[in-house]
Amino acid sequence: MKQIYIIEDHKAISDGVAQYLRISGFGSQTFADLASARKALEAQTPDLIIQDVMLPDGDGFEFIKELKKTQDIPVIFMTAKITESDRITGFEIGADDYITKPFSPRELVLRVQALFRRLDGNEKGAKNVPMIEYWAGDACMVYDAHKHQVSIDGESIYFTAAEWRILECLIEACPQLVTRSSILEKCFDYSFESYERIVDTHIKNIRAKLGIKNPWIETVRGFGYRFIGYTKDASTPR
């Protein structure tokens, strides 16, 4: 059973979400503040965190930002902060999804189910995929789809679950262009134009982690992105 932590100080909301999750077959625990959530995380790592932003003892954005430095736990922000800039901030921090209040608990459960399908599907689909070396200039990327690991010139790189899905999508499509709308549909189950800036935010984060010495992802203005690494047995990207 997947275990989910709900960090939300509004008891009616947290209890309602927890009830819907349990009915849908998930285990859940609720926390009214960050201090109690920290203690729980020291004892057990959940499969997902549903995180409010404005809490009595701190900022949920900052809490997840610090957590992501040491633990790769999927996160859905559940918040009254509704502006596009707030959503961008959430995804920059490493969120896998973002839902604004008020919302239907059923909608949240559907998003949770979709997130786990993507994560579980990625693991199953990667089992028979070999480790591959890609090159860009004199830089070597080792891409291991099975272990969900990437290294550049021997240095391991950490990606959030959302960033990994986008990178995987681009590599699998190489050398074909992948539009922003395709990335949304394949990686996030979204097709709304207003969310396309979220893709740009993730791409910016991925590029920063891959390094600026050599370009790995090409922007095709007005359309989308293309992975331009190539294997040693090919003079051009595969």
The pLDDT assigned to 46 comes to 97
Q: In the structure encoding, which two tokens stand for residue 196, read together?
A: 């396309």
Q: In the structure encoding, which two tokens stand for residue 117, read together?
A: 């399908």
Write down the mean pLDDT value for the chain. 87
| pLDDT for residue 189 is more than 90 | no
Q: Among residues 97, 31, 91, which one has the least CA distance to residue 65?
A: 91
Contact 220, 167 (CB under 8 A): no
| pLDDT for residue 237 is more than 50 | no
Per-residue pLDDT band at 88 (split at 50, 70, 90): confident
Average pLDDT over residues 88-114: 87
SS3 219: strand
Average pLDDT over residues 163-174: 91
Domains of the chain: 3-124 (3.40.50.2300), 128-227 (1.10.10.10)
C-alpha torsion angle, residues 215, 220, 221, 222 (rounded to 10): -150
Contact 214, 137 (CB under 8 A): yes
| pLDDT for residue 171 is more than 90 | yes
